Amino acid sequence: MIKSIPKFLNNRKIAPYIFVSPFIFILCLFFIYPLISAVIMSFQEILPGESTFVGFDNYKRLINPTFFTAIRNSFFYMLATLVILIPIPLILAVLLNSKLMIFRGLFQSILFLPALSSVVVAGIIFRMLFGSLPYSQMNIILGYFGHESISWLNHPLTAYIALLSLATWRWAGVNILYFLAGLQNIPEELYEASSIDGANAIQKFFFITLPLLRPITTYVLTISVFGGLAMFTESYMFWGANSPNNIGLTIVGYLYQMGIQQNRMGLACAVGIFLLIFTFIINFIQLYFSGQFKKWRIK
């Protein structure tokens, strides 16, 4: 016989907490506890077998030119990805959502395929594409236009072109799917009514599509800010742990240098806490100006 369900599971006040308890347990174990530990370690000097409280010394050590370079590189990379990976996927999503588009499913699959690839494999391929040898693919293309071969990964501008090319190739398809999901939830009646009123395609885009896509745009913007500031693997695959003149050094890359290469875990934790606060501030600002806080305000 099937045993009866315990009475407390039928209690509407207790049952919801029981069902969400696995999530709460995992959240506390893999996020809250490591975060609290990192905060404590950021005020310590950690050596093998011992730790010493040093106050704010680790945070004071962050005031150095190398770390400022890492902040600048991460910030510029984040801004560049926002400029590329918000409008371009949005426009492509609108085109894919159009009734005039044929083979929409095929194009959606092709554009999403790069997201399924490994960052390590993609990084190796793009490092070869943007290599310094005359027979690398990008230098071959430059040769067609009569330009000499250049060392792409040794100059700041061309290095950013390589990084942004990899980011666009890999993440554009993901953002396209986000925008497509939002577009397919917009009622078709709104477009039909605007057509009756004489609105053209551009007016429909700016006065119907963009306003109704604001929640999706805010979400994509939020995860793009975090992804841009937390970028590490792409840079590591291009230059390893040390890039020429730190042109590829990011905040997470600096954390790797301090924590793994130099075994200064306390300082590395301070870098991680700084990144968390820095990301939170930027996301707070963009959520404020996007008007999301007004929706959450308790009336």
Phi, psi values for residue 298, rounded to 5°: -80, 125
Please tell me the distance from the alpha carbon of residue 250 to that of residue 255, in angstroms, as a whole number: 9
The confidence score (pLDDT) of residue 64 equals: 92
Please tell me the distance from the alpha carbon of residue 19 to that of residue 11, in angstroms, as a whole number: 12
- For the entire predicted model, the pTM comes to 0.86
The vertex-85 CA angle with 245 and 179, nearest 5°, equals 160
- The stretches of the chain forming alpha helices (DSSP H) are 15-27, 33-41, 57-61, 65-85, 87-97, 104-116, 119-129, 137-144, 156-183, 188-196, 201-204, 210-212, 214-229, 233-239, 251-256, 265-289, 292-296
Q: Which class does domain 57-296 fall in?
A: mainly alpha
Q: Which residue type, as a one-letter code, is found at position 101?
A: M
- DSSP symbols for 137-175: HHHHHHHHTTPPP--GGGSHHHHHHHHHHHHHHHHHHHH
Taking Cα atoms as reference points, which of 19, 16, 36 lies closest to residue 28?
36
pLDDT along the chain (299 residues), means of 10: 58 78 91 92 85 90 93 93 92 86 82 86 91 86 86 89 92 91 89 86 88 90 91 90 87 92 90 93 84 58
